[in-house]
Amino acid sequence: MLRTDDGQTIKLEDYRATDFVLHSVAMTIRLFEGRADIHTTLELERRKGVDAAAPLVLDGDELTLTGLALNGTPLEGERYDASPQRLEITGLPSDERFTLDIETTLVPENNTKLMGLYRSNGIWCTQCEAEGFRRITYFLDRPDVLARYEVRIEADRSAAPVLLSNGNPAETAVLPDNRHFAVWDDPFDKPSYLFAMVAGDLDSIHEQFTTASGKPVSLGIYTERGRATQAGYAMDALKRSMVWDERRFGREYDLDVFNIVAIADFNMGAMENKGLNVFNHKYVLLDPETATDVDYAGVETVIAHEYFHNWTGNRITCRDWFQLCLKEGLTVYRDQEFSADERSATVQRISSVRRLKAHQFPEDQGPLQHPVRPTEYREINNFYTATVYDKGAELVRMIETILGRDRFRRGMDLYFDRHDGDAATVEDFIACFEAATGEDLSRLALWYGQAGTPTVTVTEDYDAAAGRLTVGFKQTLRQGTAGTGTAPVHIPIRFGLVGPNGQDIDTASVHGANVAGDVIHLTEPEARVVFENLSERPYLSVLRDFSAPVALDHPQSEADRLALARLDPNLFNRWRILNDLVGAALTTASRAPSPEIQAPLTPEIIDAILGSAGDESLEAAFRAQALALPGEAEIARMLAENVDPDTVHAVVEAARRGVGKRGAALFARLHADRETGSQFSPDAESAGSRALASAALGYLAAATGDFGPAADQYAAAGNMTDRLAALTVLVHRFPDTPASTSALDDFYARFKHDGLVIDKWFAIQATIPSPGAVEIVAGLASHAMFSLKNPNRVRALVGTFAAANQLAFHRADGAGYRWVAERLVEIDRLNPQVSARIATTFRSWRSLEPVRRDKASATLRQLLELKDLSTDLRDILGRSLR
């Protein structure tokens, strides 16, 4: 048997409330070089009905206890039992409130896990979600224990002139020995995972915001010294987010201040601590010279996401970590809607669906699959997944599709009314929509408990004489590794019947199962819908806007698909149908013997792509999406078995050359027409034009083998978006040429002082599509700018290589697997969250052809045999092999 049984399994069904109720928390945090002393005063009370002899058991993690007192009197040793991961106290009062004073001491400088209190470039900061607070003090560290916090931070005035925590500032004063303190008071009860503290020598920018009801809020963004000038766009995105949440959901901000701190060493994207969001600085710091359009869009999204958590996550939190999607899925849905309103709704939807298919579908179709609401876990940090976040958002979106925008809003209003201040569950959430609208959502609710991607099969039968189209729908869900059931769910299918002129035909005369407006509600295993009075056969456009996270099996003729790719008034489906057609052709070619590889796409398909790309009535960003072929990992996922990454790569390359050759004139024009020299603006329209020109550049290079245009674009680039696009073409298409190496050297010389930009330099080299990339990344791992301790560096080099270099990671001799495995062991000793995350890149090993499959599984097995692996990494390896 595989040894995976070290950690204990936590189960949803075992949930019960704590024996003790927490009323308040007062903390004093004293910061010194090399040490932090934490004094926490808890006001507690035994819950009514709990056995008077029951001990209080507090969570800890690598803690050192230095003091313990009950109601002000130090506790005798026999009354408690303290270990680094647990503090148990007996003989506590049975029916009155009491206070516990707990003192701990830590070394933030040694905290390489970046959970709890740590130091990043001299700045003291915290990350507590999910279970980091227990690394600061012993506590009831779970999301259903809410309390009011008062926090006093003391530090040296020169090392830390800025002292921040949650809530509103209450008091500051100077102390002897060049020290000072600040007190922060958070009037909103919160769970410990939302606690935060930051202290350091920081720069900042500030603005005032007035809420819809006239309440002034001071906004601040704090950065390392010298970088506050890069925070302007984040501030702008924050203000737009605040306005949007008022207008769209009626949600106002609730404290006097809202602060954001940008930190260089950070495990995730960002964290929504009440009134004090802490960010990976990658999602705050921007300027045109160092950041791409994609980076700008990322900052906007993450700023909005964390801000929106103030209501969906903080005011209403989760009862337990199984309910993580309650805040994450809902908040991703909200940030997607924000981006759709701020930018182009169609293009936003396309990029959300691409992301879902690239990250969530493979997760849901492999051994790491789990329901959006899991029922058990060993390590909760491994459940911050695409399934919880992105599929979780899709489930909320389906509720909106089923109810319609207005009734959805009524359900949300009720949710905020009913559960403000609560630690809630998924059932609570769904009940609000049912209560507000009278709709039965029981079949929708089943989605939360079943892992796997359902397939919807669509059949069409047109009776010309009768003018009748009969459409059959069938849903199937294969039982997967997670064994979570396969009951039929509610699948809303947005649709249209498109006439030959590209107009939707009025579908008034419809009968069959459950059609409301433009949505077919599939709630049974099968359904049939009949459209009458048709004068000619229409094109059936289904799953518009990707109205459900399903795999679609709709055997439509190529002619129908090509027509829809040109005509569908639903622009999302124009893209989706074209993308599916291309994906199917590339998948077929990847299965077929080699002669076919020369031309995997028919001229008709290529013309459809070029037709969209050249259509000036469409937004540039949409046209760029039409040019983006499905990636190699996406083809591999669709192949599902016996995948040979070399063949897939050859097929995608051949397709790229085919499109490039046939569209050479268009691409030359699109590239020549690009805007140069003018002022950079990060708005969606300008970004779309740049994306289109860059796509054209890529095809030009693929078709002609000429590096000239890319070299020229690199030399003339006035912003990072154009520079990086050109560099990517040079390095990926013309590796080892003087043009490529001199551009790489130039890039390094320009930006060597800025780790965030050097991450792009690492990532570009990690994704060179050549077997030799294994040796390239191995060399870069000893580069002076690389550090195993910084998660951004590690993700840029190791993570990007494993996730985005199919050719080299899956090199047939197993060298790619071995190199990643060796790095995983090193990373795991420092930061288990990061090693576990990168290890998920092995998850699709079973779909590989036999030689690679054996090498990948042997690598995983050897890793799992090692002693001293973290629970995080062991959990991922064990589940990947199941």
How far is it, in rounded angstroms, from Cα 230 to Cα 240?
A: 18
Nearer to Zn ion by C-beta: 304 or 848?
304
Smaller CB separation from ligand ARG, 387 or 689: 387
Which residues have a catalytic role annotated?
A: 306
Q: How far apart are CA 846 and CA 265, in angstroms?
A: 34
Residue 873 is a binding residue for ligand ARG (CB under 6 A): no
Residue type, 345: A
- Nearest CA to 581 out of 608, 542, 619, 614 is that of 608
Query: According to CB under 6 A, which residues from 355 to 384 bind ligand ARG?
Result: 381, 384
> In the complex, what is the shortest distance from the CB of residue 61 to ligand ARG, in angstroms, rounded to a whole number?
13
Least separation in angstroms between CB 502 and Zn ion: 40
How far is residue 177's CA from residue 156's CA, in Å, rounded to a whole number?
Answer: 8
272 binds ligand ARG (CB under 6 A): yes
- How far apart are the C-alpha atoms of 144 and 192, rounded to whole Å? 9
Given 137, 267, 339, 579, the residue binding ligand ARG (CB under 6 A) = 267
388 binds, among Zn ion, ligand ARG, none (CB under 5 to 8 A by kind): none
Site string (153-182) toward ligand ARG, x via CB under 6 A: ------------------------------
Strand segments, DSSP code E, in 191-250 are 197-200, 202-210, 216-224
If one asks whether residue 835 binds ligand ARG (CB under 6 A), the answer comes out as no
| Residues 718 and 677: beta-carbon distance below 8 Å | yes
Element (H, E) at 862: helix 850-865
Least distance from ligand ARG to the Cβ atom of residue 115, Å: 6
**Nearest-angstrom CA–CA distance, 22 and 27:** 14
- The structure tokens 């190199």 sit at 819
Q: At closest approach, how far in Å is the CB of 307 from ligand ARG?
A: 11
Compute the least distance from the CB of residue 59 to ligand ARG, in Å: 15
Residue 137 interacting partner from ligand ARG, Zn ion, none (CB closer than 5 to 8 Å by kind) = none
Q: Is the peptide bond before 130 cis (omega within 30 degrees of 0)?
A: yes
If the CB atoms of residues 331 and 790 are measured against Zn ion, the closer one turns out to be 331
Q: How many helical (H) and strand (E) elements, i.e. helices and strands, does the chain have? A: 30, 33
Nearer Cβ to Zn ion (309/723): 309
165 binds, among Zn ion, ligand ARG, none (CB under 5 to 8 A by kind): none
Using the contact rule CB under 6 A, the part of the chain among 37-45, 270-278, 492-500, 768-776 near ligand ARG is 270-278
Per-residue CA distances from 119 to 106, 160, 241, 427 (Å): 12, 12, 30, 39
Report the length, in residues, of the chain.
882
Phi and psi angles of residue 372, each rounded to the nearest 5 degrees, phi first = -55, -40
Q: What is the DSSP letter of 380?
A: G
Packed helices 405-419 and 232-249: angle between N→C axes, nearest 10 degrees: 100
Place of tokens 């002034």: 216
With binding defined as CB under 6 A, does residue 270 bind ligand ARG?
A: yes
Q: Which is nearer to ligand ARG, 125 or 493 (CB)?
A: 125
**What one-character DSSP code corresponds to residue 701?**
H
- CB-side exposure of 285: number of CA atoms within 13 Å? 25
Task: Give residues 99-158 in contact with ligand ARG (rule: CB under 6 A).
Answer: 129-130
3-state secondary structure of 198: strand
Is 268 near ligand ARG (CB under 6 A)? yes
Which residues in 425-454 contact Zn ion (CB under 5 A)? none
Single residue of 306, 580, 632, 644 touching ligand ARG by CB under 6 A: 306
- In whole angstroms, the minimum distance from the beta carbon of 389 to Zn ion comes to 7
Number of residues that bind ligand ARG (CB under 6 A): 14
Cα 451 to its chain centre, rounded Å, is 18
Residues 6 or more apart whose Cβ sits within 8 Å of residue 248: 337, 338, 341
Task: Mark the segment that binds ligand ARG (CB under 6 A) among 148-156, 265-273, 496-504, 670-678.
Answer: 265-273
Using the rule CB under 6 A, is 713 a contact of ligand ARG?
A: no
Q: Which of residues 380-419 bind ligand ARG (CB under 6 A)?
A: 381, 384
CA dihedral 445, 446, 449, 454 (to 10 degrees): -120
- Contact, 530 vs 511, CB < 8 A? yes
Closest CA relative to residue 460, chosen from 557, 605, 580, 568: 557
**Interaction residues for ligand ARG, span 595-654 (CB under 6 A):** none
Candidates 54-62, 267-275, 654-662, 671-679; binding stretch for ligand ARG (CB under 6 A): 267-275
Pairing of strands 20-32, 515-516: unpaired
Question: Pick from 150, 224, 293, 328: which binds ligand ARG (CB under 6 A)?
Answer: 328
What is the distance, to the nearest Å, from the Cα of residue 877 to the centroid of all Cα atoms in its chain? 21
Distances (CA, A) of 25 to 329, 436, 738: 30, 37, 62
Minimum CB–partner distance for residue 161 and ligand ARG (Å): 28
Pick from Zn ion, ligand ARG, none: which does 130 bind, CB < 5 to 8 A by kind? ligand ARG
Q: Judged by CB under 6 A, which stretch of 84-92, 263-271, 468-476, 869-877 contacts ligand ARG?
A: 263-271
Partner interacting with residue 270 (select from Zn ion, ligand ARG, none; CB below 5-8 Å by kind): ligand ARG
Distances (CA, A) of 414 to 195, 434, 839: 27, 10, 41
C-alpha–C-alpha distance, residues 587 and 600, integer Å: 9
- How far is residue 544's CA from residue 250's CA, in Å, rounded to a whole number? 28
Q: How far is the CB of 381 from Zn ion (least distance, A)?
A: 14
CA 417 → CA 73, 332, 410, distances in Å?
43, 21, 11
Shortest Cβ 318–ligand ARG spacing (Å): 10
Smallest gap from Cβ 534 to Zn ion, in A, equals: 46
Nearer to ligand ARG, 521 or 874 (CB): 874
Q: Which is nearer to ligand ARG, 380 or 778 (CB)?
A: 380
Residue nearest ligand ARG, Cβ-based? 384
Query: Which residue lies nearer to ligand ARG by CB, 624 or 836?
Result: 836
Q: Which DSSP helix (H) or strand (E) runs through 326? A: helix 324-342
Q: Does 300 bind ligand ARG (CB under 6 A)?
A: no
Selected from 42, 271, 372, 608, the binder of ligand ARG by CB under 6 A is 271
3-class secondary-structure state, position 691: helix
Which range binds ligand ARG by CB under 6 A, 269-277, 560-568, 581-589, 620-628?
Answer: 269-277
Nearer to ligand ARG, 332 or 764 (CB): 332
Which residues, 319 to 338, sit near Zn ion by CB under 5 A?
A: 328, 331
300 touches, from Zn ion, ligand ARG, none (C-beta below 5 to 8 Å by class): none
Q: Using CB under 5 A as the criterion, which residues of the chain lie in contact with Zn ion when the complex forms? A: 328, 331
Residues that bind ligand ARG (CB under 6 A): 129-130, 267-272, 305-306, 328, 381, 384, 833
